[in-house]
């Protein structure tokens, strides 16, 4: 076992002991055992506009053993804590899936009538996962810090030397392959870096292309891929590159609501998991594309504004100049764009709110289909002039575009024209 | 660009020129241009029982320009060949997705009545992908050898030093992370190895656990994960480890029909893509588990045999001794097994054939649901005593088990008891 792991184990064991000593003290004092922890609910989630961060609010919940409504949850929490403790002292590396199995069993007891009854500790993994989240919040540690492992998709290459486990690894010497980020990225030590920025690419295949082309060497970038929806380790790794190495982070995704959402997960996190976002999100990550204006320019949105005067609270005046040219010619656009699916449109409404869809969607049939989403007001960080414009163009055209379409204009175009001009020209969304 | 890439480019360009010179010669001789290539269809797929390999049979198809039924396919083939050629000479690294975009456009022409008509080169990626496969078969090169990249999930760690691109990489020095296999694994050079076998783990999370535990160091193994369904590069990499380094390959998956299928993809490949299996499959890969007999022992199957005397053509006599003990206790089994879903059962019928399900499934209701699969005779390589027994136990119990359940008995159990005892005891399925 590596020395960093030994240290991490000691830390986690210390926090567990300290935090659960409370229960012991309560019992010794003859009090009812109660766990007090921040409430992990939407109503207790605050978007800190200034720091662009999701935070847990001040509400707490009390989980008591002597309360029929809470006894089960109380016991689950203690069961999970003890399983994690056991794993830590036994030099284990559990996954959330096997923690579920480790704790899964039936407890037999006699009810008030003396009849034998069996109750399961938990039935489904979502129950045990929820308890792990409670513990993360209660102890203010991430599960990774308790050496709970998980599958990990993120990869990285670039002029960066790290120390992981007992090895020193030069991420510029990976050949045509790449370095798979470890599931416990807080244990990585950054030894040496020679880079100007971090480029995070949604798609693994595009990462492979840029890597092979030598993009990161030429432009002194750290090249990362999340291979789709980013997992926790990739998000934490990117956050640390930004926070500790002071490298700006640019995110490159498909031009569709799912791509925009992936960017949002890197930048802000998930609204229902705000506690983890405090550590995993990169609030100043920038979206460099592919944007709808890269595909369509500003013409589409200008026309909408001429008709409706105001979208999402923004007018011609509050939006400033609109004179961006697209990166694609008329015929390229015709060949490359893909028709949006219903789920794309619905995801877009979730991001920016129903009112923007209502203003920008042309078809009254589609609009009536979206009525069920009428209550949605969108995420605050998508209610900005830039994103309202982006999503309005999406609603108007009902088109999307993949990064691969940009690469099909030639990898040189993607690597030497599109990405550098977006970054150097400051043509990103913050 | 690395020197191996330059060399690979030259090779591919050479083969393309040579193969398509045929067309040029035909035209110069005043003949009709015709491409002749092996037929990529099920009826032309042969399972070579002795070498445990899927091979393309002797049937060929002739694709002629001067035939209204074939002109479109002929043109598509030439279009794709020219796009790949352009990419090769321009130092590009396309993906199959951007090859689709590169070729996608409308061709305008006047029909017999002088009316302008437009036809698309191709509409969906499955069309352009199919043409790429045709080219692989026609030229007898894999797309990876034409430097066509793709996303890549496979990872590896162990006492293996490779050369990739211009770098020499020690796969025992990856810290807690891992080495991501490159999309062009034929360009990897094996420099030095100190290992006794290759362990391929289906699940990335279990790979992470075994890696962190130091499994590969302790047991001198090369540890690979396919992270689910294996992609081509992972399969080719594993095949090369087996073929060139003479390392036995053991595959560890969930105990369910999908896990068995993943093993089958490593070992034999996909029956509809036999031409790639010749290069990507590892015919002597061994399935070490988790097997149904590891979970249930032999008792279940013995009972079935007592009742029906014969399953899948096998009797007590042809099956030999049945006295295996399970690795799980009665109560562990109760806590860990998961109920099979309908799609698991259907997949199992595909693997082993309807007759085995018919013999082993207890519920007449389920059996009637499976009637639509009645015609299925199973894959020849699953019609062996060992696999018939495995799948019969599955049909009988309708249970499955994940590897994580084994890990939940303690990582030490998985790493130091289960895996070594399976390998040392020869308790695998070949």
The enclosing domain of B49 has a CATH number of 1.10.10.10
User: Would the CB atoms of A408 and B102 count as touching at under 8 Å?
Assistant: yes
Q: Please report residues of A whose CB lies closer than 8 A to that of B149.
A: 205, 208-209, 212
A406 φ/ψ angles, rounded to the nearest 5 degrees: -65, -40
Q: How many residues does chain B have?
A: 430
Give B172→chain A minimum CA distance, Å: 9
**Res A274: pLDDT:** 84
Cα gap B234→B321, rounded to integer Å: 36
Nearest residue on chain A to B179, judged by CA atoms? Answer: A179
Give the model's confidence band at B8: pLDDT under 50 very low, under 70 low, under 90 confident, else very high.
very high
State the DSSP H helix or E strand holding residue A44, giving kind and residue range, or none if neither: none
Number of helices (H), then strands (E), in chain B: 20, 17
Average pLDDT over residues A78-84: 97
Contact present, A237 and A185 (Cβ < 8 Å): yes
Please indicate, yes or no, whether residues A110 and A161 belong to a single structural domain of this protein: no
Contact present, B190 and B158 (Cβ < 8 Å): no
**Res A321: pLDDT:** 73
Please indicate, yes or no, whether residues B8 and B140 belong to a single structural domain of this protein: yes
Instruction: Indicate the residue among B274, B289, B304 that finishes a domain.
Output: B289
Is A105's Cβ below 8 Å from some Cβ in B? yes
**Res B408: pLDDT:** 87
Give B129→chain A minimum CA distance, Å: 15
Task: Report yes or no on A262 lying in a domain.
Answer: yes
Task: Report yes or no on B412 lying in a domain.
Answer: no
Instruction: Indicate the residue among A289, A317, A345 that finishes a domain.
Output: A289
pLDDT more than 70, % of chain A: 100
Is A222's Cβ below 8 Å from some Cβ in B? no
**Res B263: pLDDT:** 97
User: Beta strand pairing status for A60-64 and B249-252?
Assistant: unpaired
Please indicate, yes or no, whether residues A137 and A192 belong to a single structural domain of this protein: no
**Could you give the number of structural domains in chain B?**
3
Cα gap A21→A15, rounded to integer Å: 10
Q: What is the CA angle A230-A233-A237, rounded to 5?
A: 100
Q: Which residues of B are annotated as a binding site for Mg(2+)?
A: 202, 254
Burial code (b: 16+ CB inside 10 Å, e: under 16) for A278-313 equals bbbbbbebbbbbbbbbbbbbbebbeebbeeeeebbe
Query: Is A354 assigned a catalytic role?
Result: no
CA A134 from centroid of its chain's CA atoms? 19
Q: Directed axis angle between helix A299-308 and helix A385-397, to 10°?
A: 90
Is A413's Cβ below 8 Å from some Cβ in B? no
Nearest residue on chain B to A167, judged by CA atoms? Answer: B175
Please indicate, yes or no, whether residues A332 and A387 belong to a single structural domain of this protein: yes
Instruction: Indicate the residue among A289, A307, A335 that finishes a domain.
Output: A289
User: Beta strand pairing status for A178-180 and A155-157?
Assistant: antiparallel
Task: Report yes or no on B200 lying in a domain.
Answer: yes
**Six token digits for residue A405:** 């379409």
Please indicate, yes or no, whether residues A344 and A276 belong to a single structural domain of this protein: no
Give B128→chain A minimum CA distance, Å: 14
Average pLDDT over residues A318-338: 87
Cα gap A367→A359, rounded to integer Å: 10
**Res A323: pLDDT:** 75
Cα gap B30→A357, rounded to integer Å: 60
Considering B93, B100, B101, B327, which one is annotated as catalytic? B101
Q: What part of B 227-266 touches A (C-beta under 8 Å)?
A: 227
Tens digits of per-residue pLDDT, B391-413? 999 999 999 999 999 988 889 99
Cα gap B144→B150, rounded to integer Å: 9
Q: Which of B5, B140, B132, B23 is nearest to B81 (CA)?
A: B132
Q: How many residues does chain A have?
A: 430
Task: Report yes or no on B418 lying in a domain.
Answer: no
Tens digits of per-residue pLDDT, A210-221? 999 999 999 999
Burial category of B68 from C-beta neighbours within 10 Å (exposed 0-12, middle 13-18, buried 19 and up): exposed
Please indicate, yes or no, whether residues B313 and B379 belong to a single structural domain of this protein: yes
ipTM, 2 dp: 0.94
Tens digits of per-residue pLDDT, B336-375? 999 999 999 999 999 999 999 999 999 989 988 898 999 9
Burial code (b: 16+ CB inside 10 Å, e: under 16) for A392-403 equals bbbbbbbbbbbb
**Res B219: pLDDT:** 98
Neighbours of B300 (CB within 10 A): 22
Q: Which residues pair with B178 in a beta bridge?
A: A180
Query: Who among B152, B175, B182 is closest to A182 (CB)?
Result: B175
Please indicate, yes or no, whether residues B98 and B180 belong to a single structural domain of this protein: no
Interface residue of B155, B180, B205, B416 to substitute, partner A, most A CBs within 10 Å: B180
Q: Which of B152, B204, B150 is nearest to B177 (CA)?
A: B204
Q: Which of B390, B388, B348 is nearest to B366 (CA)?
A: B348
Higher pLDDT, A186 or A273: A186
Tens digits of per-residue pLDDT, B288-302? 989 999 999 999 999
Q: Please report residues of A whose CB lies closer than 8 A to that of B177.
A: 164, 169, 179-182
CATH number at residue A166: 3.40.1360.10
User: Would the CB atoms of B180 and A180 count as touching at under 8 Å?
Assistant: yes
Query: Who among B5, B151, B174 is closest to A167 (CB)?
Result: B174
Q: Please report residues of B whose CB lies closer than 8 A to that of A215.
A: none
Tens digits of per-residue pLDDT, B79-96? 999 999 999 999 999 999
Tens digits of per-residue pLDDT, A144-200? 999 999 999 999 999 999 999 999 999 999 999 999 999 999 999 999 999 999 999
**Res A408: pLDDT:** 87
Please indicate, yes or no, whether residues B276 and B205 belong to a single structural domain of this protein: yes
Contact present, B118 and B106 (Cβ < 8 Å): yes
Neighbours of B410 (CB within 10 A): 18
Give the model's confidence band at B205: pLDDT under 50 very low, under 70 low, under 90 confident, else very high.
very high
User: Would the CB atoms of B177 and A187 count as touching at under 8 Å?
Assistant: no
Tens digits of per-residue pLDDT, B209-257? 999 999 999 999 999 999 999 999 999 999 999 999 999 999 999 999 9
Is A332's Cβ below 8 Å from some Cβ in B? no
Higher pLDDT, A408 or A17: A17
Q: Is the pLDDT of residue B426 over 90?
A: yes
Using only the alpha carbons of chain B, give its radius of gyration. 25
Please indicate, yes or no, whether residues A123 and A167 belong to a single structural domain of this protein: no
Please indicate, yes or no, whether residues B14 and B79 belong to a single structural domain of this protein: yes
**Res A284: pLDDT:** 94
Is A298 assigned a ligand-binding role in the annotation?
no
Give the model's confidence band at B134: pLDDT under 50 very low, under 70 low, under 90 confident, else very high.
very high
Q: Please report residues of A whose CB lies closer than 8 A to that of B1.
A: 214
Task: Report yes or no on B414 lying in a domain.
Answer: no
Cα gap B7→A82, rounded to integer Å: 57
Average pLDDT over residues A372-377: 91
CA B10 from centroid of its chain's CA atoms? 28
Cα gap A282→A269, rounded to integer Å: 9
3-state secondary structure at position B193? strand
**Res A316: pLDDT:** 83
- Cβ contacts below 8 Å, chain A against chain B, sum to 205
Cα gap A102→A177, rounded to integer Å: 36
In sequence order, what DSSP letters do the residues of B199-266 get, joined into one string?
Answer: EEES-HHHHHHHHHHTHHHHTTEEEEE--SS--HHHHHHHHHHHHHH---EEEE--BSHHHHHHHHHH
Q: Is the pLDDT of residue B27 over 90?
A: yes
Give the model's confidence band at B182: pLDDT under 50 very low, under 70 low, under 90 confident, else very high.
very high
**Six token digits for residue A68:** 């029929």
Query: Who among A106, A151, A165 is closest to B203 (CB)?
Result: A151
Query: Who among B5, B169, B410 is closest to A92 (CB)?
Result: B410
Task: Report yes or no on A110 lying in a domain.
Answer: yes
**Res A147: pLDDT:** 97
Is B173's Cβ below 8 Å from some Cβ in A? yes
Q: What part of B 276-295 touches A (C-beta under 8 Å)?
A: none
Q: What is the CA angle B416-A155-A382, rounded to 5?
A: 125
Interface residue of A88, A98, A119, A172 to substitute, partner B, most B CBs within 10 Å: A98
Using only the alpha carbons of chain A, give its radius of gyration. 25
Please report, for residues A124, A206, B147, B268, the alpha-carbon distance to residue B150 in angstroms, rounded to integers and kept in the order given: 35, 8, 10, 22
Residues in Cβ contact with B381 at an 8 Å cutoff, skipping those fewer than 6 apart: B47, B52, B264, B267, B268, B387
Q: Is the pLDDT of residue A317 over 90?
A: no
- Ranges of beta strands (E only) in B114-202 are 116-120, 155-157, 160-164, 167-170, 178-180, 189-193, 197-201
Task: Report yes or no on B408 lying in a domain.
Answer: no
Q: Is the pLDDT of residue B44 over 80?
A: yes
Nearest residue on chain A to B332, judged by CA atoms? Answer: A105
Please indicate, yes or no, whether residues A224 and A302 belong to a single structural domain of this protein: no
User: Beta strand pairing status for B197-201 and B249-252?
Assistant: parallel
Q: Is the pLDDT of residue B420 over 80?
A: yes
Q: Any idea which of A311-320, A419-428, B167-176 has the lowest mean pLDDT?
A: A311-320
Please indicate, yes or no, whether residues A279 and A304 belong to a single structural domain of this protein: no
B8 φ/ψ angles, rounded to the nearest 5 degrees: -60, -40
Q: Which residues pair with A56 in a beta bridge?
A: A45
Q: Half-sphere exposure (CA, 13 Å, Cβ side) for A375?
A: 1
Average pLDDT over residues B201-205: 97
Name the most confidently modeled range: B37-46, B227-236, B317-326.
B227-236
Query: Who among A174, A205, A213 is closest to B95 (CB)?
Result: A205
Neighbours of A358 (CB within 10 A): 17
Find the domain containing A309 and state its range.
Answer: 292-400
Is B166's Cβ below 8 Å from some Cβ in A? yes
Task: Report yes or no on B428 lying in a domain.
Answer: no
- Mean pLDDT score across all residues of chain B: 94
Interface residue of B86, B162, B175 to substitute, partner A, most A CBs within 10 Å: B175
Is B5's Cβ below 8 Å from some Cβ in A? yes
């Amino acid at each position: 076992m590596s020395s960093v792991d030994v240290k991490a184990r000691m830390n986690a064991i210390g926090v567990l002991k300290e935090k659960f000593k409370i229960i012991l003290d309560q019992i010794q004092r003859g009090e009812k055992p109660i766990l007090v922890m921040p409430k992990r609910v939407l109503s207790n989630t605050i978007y800190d506009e200034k720091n662009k961060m999701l935070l847990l609010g001040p509400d707490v919940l009390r989980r008591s053993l002597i309360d029929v409504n809470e006894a089960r949850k109380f016991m689950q929490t203690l069961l999970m804590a003890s399983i994690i403790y056991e794993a830590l002292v036994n030099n284990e590396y559990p996954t959330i899936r096997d923690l579920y199995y480790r704790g899964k069993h039936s407890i037999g007891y006699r009810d008030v009538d003396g009849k034998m009854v069996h109750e399961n500790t938990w039935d489904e993994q979502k129950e045990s996962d929820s308890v792990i989240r409670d513990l993360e919040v209660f102890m203010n540690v991430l599960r990774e810090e308790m050496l709970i492992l998980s599958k990990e998709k993120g990869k990285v290459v670039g002029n960066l030397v790290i120390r992981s486990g007992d090895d020193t690894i030069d991420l510029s010497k990976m050949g045509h392959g790449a370095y798979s980020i470890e599931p416990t990225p807080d244990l990585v030590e950054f030894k040496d870096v020679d880079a100007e920025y971090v480029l995070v690419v949604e798609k693994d295949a595009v990462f492979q292309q840029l890597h092979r082309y030598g993009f990161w060497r030429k432009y002194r970038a750290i090249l990362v891929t999340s291979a789709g929806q980013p997992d926790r380790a990739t998000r934490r790794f990117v956050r640390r590159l930004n926070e500790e190495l002071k490298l700006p982070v640019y995110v490159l995704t498909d031009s569709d609501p799912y791509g925009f959402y992936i960017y949002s997960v890197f930048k802000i996190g998930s609204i229902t998991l705000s506690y983890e976002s405090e550590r995993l999100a990169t609030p100043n990550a920038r979206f460099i594309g592919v944007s709808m204006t890269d595909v369509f320019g500003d013409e589409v949105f200008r026309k909408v504004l001429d008709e409706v005067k105001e979208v999402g609270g923004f007018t011609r005046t509050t939006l400033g100049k609109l004179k961006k040219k697209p990166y694609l010619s008329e015929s390229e656009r015709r060949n490359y764009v893909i028709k949006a699916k219903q789920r794309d449109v619905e995801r877009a409404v979730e991001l920016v709110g129903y009112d923007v869809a209502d203003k920008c969607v042309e078809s009254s049939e589609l609009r009536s289909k979206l009525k069920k989403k009428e209550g949605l007001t969108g995420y605050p960080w998508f209610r900005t002039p830039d994103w309202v414009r982006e999503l309005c163009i999406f609603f108007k055209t009902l088109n999307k575009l993949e990064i691969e379409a940009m690469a099909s204009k030639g990898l040189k175009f993607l690597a030497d024209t599109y990405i550098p001009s977006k970054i150097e020209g400051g043509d990103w969304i913050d």
